[in-house]
Structure 1
Amino acid sequence: MLSRIKQLLFLTESDLNSTSVPRLQQSTLRIILTSGLLLVLTIALHSSWQAYQLGAWYIIGITSGFYLVLLLALYFSARFLAISKLLVLVAVFAAGLCMLLFIDNFEISKLGVIFVYTAPVITLLFFSARATLAVMLLNFLPYLYLINGNAPINLFNVSITLPATAEYLHSLLFLFFNLCIPLAVMRLISTLKRNAATLQQQNMQISESNLLYQDIFNHHSKATLLLSADGVILKANAKARSILGINHAEQRNIIELLKATQPGQTPFWLGHETESTLRSSPASHILLNHICHTQQQHHLVQLDDITPLKQLHQKLSANTQKEELWRNYDPLTTLPCHNFFLQLVKQYGECPAGSLMMIVRLCHIKAFNHQHSYEAGDELLAVFARELRAALPDPVICARLRGVKFILWCPLSEHSTSFTEEAQRISHLLPKVLVLSVGTMQPVYETGVSISNQPLAVPEHMREQCESALESAEAYANPLSFYQADILEQRNNELRLLAELKKALQSDTPELWLQPKVHPDGSIISFEALLRWQDNTGNYIAPDILVALAEQYGIIVQLSACVLRKALLIIEQFNRQQIPYPIAINLAGSDLLANEFYNTLINVATHKPEVLRMLTLELTENSIVSHQQPLFNKLQVLNRLGFELALDDFGIGQASLSILSKLPVNCIKLDKSFLHKVPDDQRQTQLIQSVMHMAKTLKLQLVIEGVETDIQRRFLQRLGAQIMQGYFFAKPMPVEHWLKQLKPAQQKAAVTEA
Structure 2
Amino acid sequence: MANAVERLDSEITNKIMLDLTRKALGASEALLFALFNQAPISILILDPSGQATDANDSFRNARRIETNESLARLNVLRDTSCIRSGFTHLVEPAFRGRICKEYECSYICTETDPPDAVYNLTAFPVMESGSLQSVVVLEENVTARFNAEKKALHLSIFDPLTGLPNRQHLLDRIADRLAYMERYSAHDALLLVNIDRFKIINDARGNLAGDNLIMQSGRRLRNALREIDFIGRTAADEFAILLPLEGDTPEKNGLKILSAAERLRQTLLKPFLIDGENLPVTASIGITFFPEESATATGNRDTPHYALARASTALHRAKDAGGNQCAFFERGMGMNAKERFTVERELSEENAEDGFLLYLQPQVSRNGTVVGAECLIRWQHPVRGLLAPGSFIPIAEDSDLIVKIGEWVLRKACIAMTQIKDTQNNFRISVNISPRHFMKPGFKDWIIALFSEHSLHPSRIMLEITEGLFLSNTEVAIRKMNELVDLGFVFSIDDFGTGYSSLAYLKKLPLRELKIDKSFVQDAPDEPNDAALVESIIAVAQNLGLEIVAEGVETEQQADFLASRGDMLYQGYFFGKPVPAADLLSNLATQP
TM over 0.5: no
TM range (shorter): 0.3 to 0.5
Determine which structure has the larger helix proportion and give its number.
Answer: 1
The structure showing larger relative contact order (alpha-carbon pairs under 8 Å, at least 6 residues apart) is 2
Return the index of the structure with the highest Cα Rg: 1
Determine which structure has the larger strand proportion and give its number.
Answer: 2
Q: What is the TM-score when the length of structure 2 is the normalising length?
A: 0.44
